[in-house]
């Protein structure tokens, strides 16, 4: 017997948040998500997505045993530019039982349809795409990167059997930092017009406020308003930098400038899951002490590129190569980081894919943003390529 229970109080919220350990106990590579990170997603005081959206969560019992969970959400700005109002399903976890999985997905579909939604994307986040976005579809054995979803292989099967189709793939690249950079990057960097007042630097000595303002400028000129990326406001950029402060390494935060104007960035952080694997998903007092110890010890040897972008007006001018060559020439000699992982790149972005391929980075993990159209007769279309 299946029983669907809406999260409506502290008891059900706790049960929803804590479900999943049984799912992943046989996946030794899995580093548990930090519970506090997920809890913040559903806290209206901490997640600005609630200003223009709403969310609901359920747990499901099978024979009186909690066997799965799901969340679904609507955020009005997410559907901007799409052919139909589109909601999301996320934080989906289920035992390997098709009946349980489909019951959860049915509940999400019915709730979204009742709010005028005509499609749902999954498995995605209620908020920005840099965390908890996408369904893992390739490489189920390597350690997950902080903030990236990690799933059993049967989740992919369940979604596809339900009727979801891949809207776009999310390619995660890996590169050994000691491999020499291809000549093309040297050539493109050296081809930059010497008359131009371009400069690339790290953020050593820069204030958090300055870093946030520069990040805001590049983000909005690179993506704001395109491919589901909403324009960012200053308060959000400053919050982002404040959140990064505890783990920030200014030596691996790289910006490009045209005079005083920021025109590109290569934002990296240490691989936090090299630390969080010691705290078992709980950043409580003991977890924080362990975190501080491993931060002091400089445990992470992997650098994660969380975002790389260039102002659309500066594409093709060698700025991408200049950012990459700065990292090679200034980070590698420090000897702290041996490899880099690049946060996912959509297959709708052939320019960035080419940059990764030219740097001899390889795809080592693939996620997908799936879409389910409620009108099963409507033509399904993949995400259009970036300009």
How many Cβ atoms sit within 10 Å of the Cβ of residue 137?
21
Tell me, yes or no, whether 71 lies in a domain: yes
Which domain does 14 fall in, by range? 2-169+369-373
> Could you give the dihedral angle defined by the CA atoms of residues 127, 136, 303 and 268, in that order, rounded to the nearest 10 degrees?
-30
Ramachandran angles phi, psi of 31, nearest 5°: -100, 120
Task: Give me the pLDDT at residue 282, please.
Answer: 85
User: In this structure, are 190 and 314 located in the same domain?
Assistant: yes
- The answer to whether residues 54 and 88 touch, using CB atoms and an 8 Å cutoff, is no
Ramachandran angles phi, psi of 189, nearest 5°: -65, -40
Neighbouring residues of 354: CB distance < 8 A, sequence distance ≥ 6: none
Tell me, yes or no, whether 345 lies in a domain: no
Region 214-228: what's the mean pLDDT?
80
Neighbouring residues of 14: CB distance < 8 A, sequence distance ≥ 6: none
Tell me, yes or no, whether 342 lies in a domain: no
Does the pLDDT at position 168 exceed 60?
A: yes
Number of domains forming the structure of the chain: 2
Task: Give me the pLDDT at residue 48, please.
Answer: 87
Does the pLDDT at position 44 exceed 80?
A: yes
Does the pLDDT at position 176 exceed 70?
A: yes
Tell me, yes or no, whether 344 lies in a domain: no
User: In this structure, are 32 and 128 located in the same domain?
Assistant: yes
223 falls in which pLDDT band (50, 70, 90)? Answer: confident
Task: Give me the pLDDT at residue 25, please.
Answer: 82
Region 169-188: what's the mean pLDDT?
86
User: In this structure, are 288 and 218 located in the same domain?
Assistant: yes
Predicted TM-score (pTM) of the model is 0.85
Task: Give me the pLDDT at residue 225, please.
Answer: 60
Does 223 or 269 have the greater pLDDT score?
269
Task: Give me the pLDDT at residue 387, please.
Answer: 62
Does the pLDDT at position 353 exceed 70?
A: yes
Does 136 or 317 have the greater pLDDT score?
136
Does the pLDDT at position 132 exceed 70?
A: yes
207 falls in which pLDDT band (50, 70, 90)? Answer: very high
User: In this structure, are 157 and 220 located in the same domain?
Assistant: no
Q: Name the DSSP letter for residue 9.
A: S
Tell me, yes or no, whether 326 lies in a domain: yes
What average pLDDT is seen over the chain?
90
Q: Name the DSSP letter for residue 79.
A: G
Tell me, yes or no, whether 286 lies in a domain: yes
Task: Give me the pLDDT at residue 173, please.
Answer: 92
Task: Give me the pLDDT at residue 232, please.
Answer: 85
Does 359 or 171 have the greater pLDDT score?
171
Ramachandran angles phi, psi of 160, nearest 5°: -70, -35
User: In this structure, are 118 and 198 located in the same domain?
Assistant: no
Look up the CATH number of the domain holding residue 114: 3.40.630.30
User: In this structure, are 90 and 203 located in the same domain?
Assistant: no
- The answer to whether residues 346 and 170 touch, using CB atoms and an 8 Å cutoff, is yes
Tell me, yes or no, whether 309 lies in a domain: yes
Task: Give me the pLDDT at residue 134, please.
Answer: 96
Does the pLDDT at position 202 exceed 90?
A: yes
- Give how far Cα 37 sits from Cα of 2, 244, 275, 300, 356, Å: 29, 13, 15, 20, 29
Neighbouring residues of 240: CB distance < 8 A, sequence distance ≥ 6: 212, 215
Maximum average pLDDT range among 140-149, 151-160, 308-317, 321-330: 151-160
User: In this structure, are 148 and 189 located in the same domain?
Assistant: no
Does 179 or 72 have the greater pLDDT score?
72
Does 343 or 213 have the greater pLDDT score?
213
User: In this structure, are 163 and 16 located in the same domain?
Assistant: yes
User: In this structure, are 164 and 204 located in the same domain?
Assistant: no
Does the pLDDT at position 375 exceed 80?
A: yes
pLDDT in tens, 15-31: 999 998 778 888 888 99
Which pair of tokens denotes residue 206? 């820069």
Tell me, yes or no, whether 36 lies in a domain: yes
User: In this structure, are 38 and 136 located in the same domain?
Assistant: yes
User: In this structure, are 64 and 91 located in the same domain?
Assistant: yes
Which pair of tokens denotes residue 32? 């548990």
Which pair of tokens denotes residue 45? 């005081």
Task: Give me the pLDDT at residue 298, please.
Answer: 83
Question: What kind and span of H or E run contains 176?
Answer: strand 165-176
User: In this structure, are 52 and 111 located in the same domain?
Assistant: yes
What DSSP letter does each residue of 303-317 carry, written as one string? Answer: EEEEEEEE-GGGTTT
């Amino acid at each position: 017997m299946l029983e669907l229970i809406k999260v409506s109080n502290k008891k059900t919220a706790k049960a929803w948040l804590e479900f999943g350990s049984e799912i992943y106990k046989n996946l030794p590579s899995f580093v548990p998500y930090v519970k506090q990170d997920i809890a913040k997603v559903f806290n209206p005081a901490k997640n600005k997505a609630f200003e223009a959206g709403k969310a609901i969560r359920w747990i499901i019992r099978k024979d009186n045993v909690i066997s799965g969970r799901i969340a679904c959400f609507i955020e009005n700005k997410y559907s901007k530019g799409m052919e139909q109002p589109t909601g999301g399903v996320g934080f989906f976890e289920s035992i390997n039982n098709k009946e349980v999985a489909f019951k959860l997905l049915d509940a999400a579909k019915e709730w979204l349809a009742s709010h005028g939604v005509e499609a749902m994307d999954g498995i995605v986040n209620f908020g920005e795409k840099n965390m908890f976005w996408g369904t893992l579809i390739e490489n189920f054995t390597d350690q997950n990167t902080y903030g990236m979803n990690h799933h059993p292989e049967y989740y992919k099967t369940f979604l596809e059997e339900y009727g979801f189709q891949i809207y776009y793939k999310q390619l995660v690249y890996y590169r050994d930092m000691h491999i020499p950079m291809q000549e093309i990057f040297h050539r493109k960097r050296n081809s930059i017009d010497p008359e131009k007042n371009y400069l690339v630097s790290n953020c050593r000595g820069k204030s958090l406020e300055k870093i946030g303002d520069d990040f805001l400028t590049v983000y909005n000129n690179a993506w704001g308003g395109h491919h589901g990326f909403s324009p960012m406001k200053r308060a959000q950029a400053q919050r982002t930098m404040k959140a990064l402060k505890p783990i920030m390494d200014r030596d691996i935060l790289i910006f490009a400038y045209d005079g005083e104007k920021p025109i590109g960035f290569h934002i990296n952080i240490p691989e936090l899951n090299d630390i969080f694997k010691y705290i078992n998903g709980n950043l409580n007092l003991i977890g924080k002490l362990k975190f501080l110890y491993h931060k002091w010890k400089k445990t992470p040897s992997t650098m994660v590129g969380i975002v790389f972008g260039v102002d659309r007006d500066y594409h093709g001018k060698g700025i991408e190569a200049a950012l990459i060559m700065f990292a090679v020439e200034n980070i590698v000699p420090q000897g702290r980081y041996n490899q880099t992982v690049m946060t996912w790149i959509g297959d709708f972005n052939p320019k960035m894919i080419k940059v990764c391929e030219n740097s001899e980075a390889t795809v080592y993990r693939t996620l997908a943003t799936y879409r389910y159209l409620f009108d099963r007769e409507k033509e399904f279309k993949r995400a259009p390529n970036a300009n």
